[in-house]
Amino acid sequence: MKKSIGIQSLAMMDAQCSSCALNPLTDSGQLAREGSADATVVLAGNPNVGKTSVFNALTGLRQHTGNWPGKTVLQARGFYPHRDKRIEVVDLPGTYSLSARSPEEEVARDAICFGNPDVTVVVVDATALERNLNLVLQIAEVSDRIVVCVNLLDEARRKHVWVDLKELALELGLPVVGTVALARRGILELKDAIDQIVTGQMSPSPKKPVYSEDVEAAIVGIVPSIQEINHTSLPDRWIALRILEGDDSILGKLEQFYRRDDATMTERAMAS
């Protein structure tokens, strides 16, 4: 049984506490799930969007903390009951994109891209939607199982910013829930949206970004090679984009994820 501590202890967690490592990605690249959990949800978002407040409101401070294995990056997991299910929530480090530039961003990217969570909740700041939606669009290229949580609606209103949640949902092709996490407003609706995806009552169909003609032509050229060897749930198009981007860290992670002796997937795709 893992030790449960309050959120007040988060700030006291020592960065050297590697012995406190909680469930990592498994050997197959999946997010290790607590045995009694019916589903695992990850919280993603830019730094300072109130993501931890959403985590606390969802879990009611019922959480475990430790470091991600091999990294001095804090990991927090918690649970909440809803509609006869026990839902596990993983609070990921803040990240601006899936092109990881730091250990924190690498942890978040790996959990989203390789952890195969049941639902990814992307928390965005209602006062800075344009900047925050970049991460939403990137994650939508990897997974359809997304809920967008527009947090800090009270702060937005103080700044005379009004967010049309229904219109935003139509534009993104994703469920959108508005919250003021510190006041627990919208949290029940967020739990309901997560539950609908977990149970299959709702199947989001996010609108995918369209790039310039040159980039789209390059994607078309690479995808057939990827299709021959991609037997995972990762979209061929997303892998093609990472190869075109020249993201060395993601290419290495792809080969680790595939765990093929010849590890030639990216080499073959790049040579096509």
pLDDT digits (tens, 9 = 90+) for 4-59: 322 223 223 233 233 333 344 555 555 666 667 899 999 999 998 999 899 999 99
Task: Give dist(CA 68, CA 262) in Å, integer.
Answer: 28
For residue 75, pLDDT beyond 90: no
- pLDDT of res. 225: 83
Q: What is the mean pLDDT of residues 122-134?
A: 95
Global pTM value: 0.79
Task: Report the 10 Å Cβ neighbour count for 261.
Answer: 5
* Token couple for 94: 């803040």
- Overall average pLDDT of the 57-70 stretch: 70
If you average pLDDT over every residue of the chain, what do you get? 80
Share of the chain above pLDDT 90, in %: 50
Confidence of residue 109 (pLDDT cuts 50, 70, 90): confident
- For the ranges 106-110, 245-249, 253-257, which has the lowest average pLDDT? 253-257
pLDDT of residue 235: 87
Sign of CA dihedral 109, 241, 167, 192: negative
The predicted structure's pLDDT at residue 24: 46
Which of 16-25, 170-179, 242-251 has the least mean pLDDT?
16-25
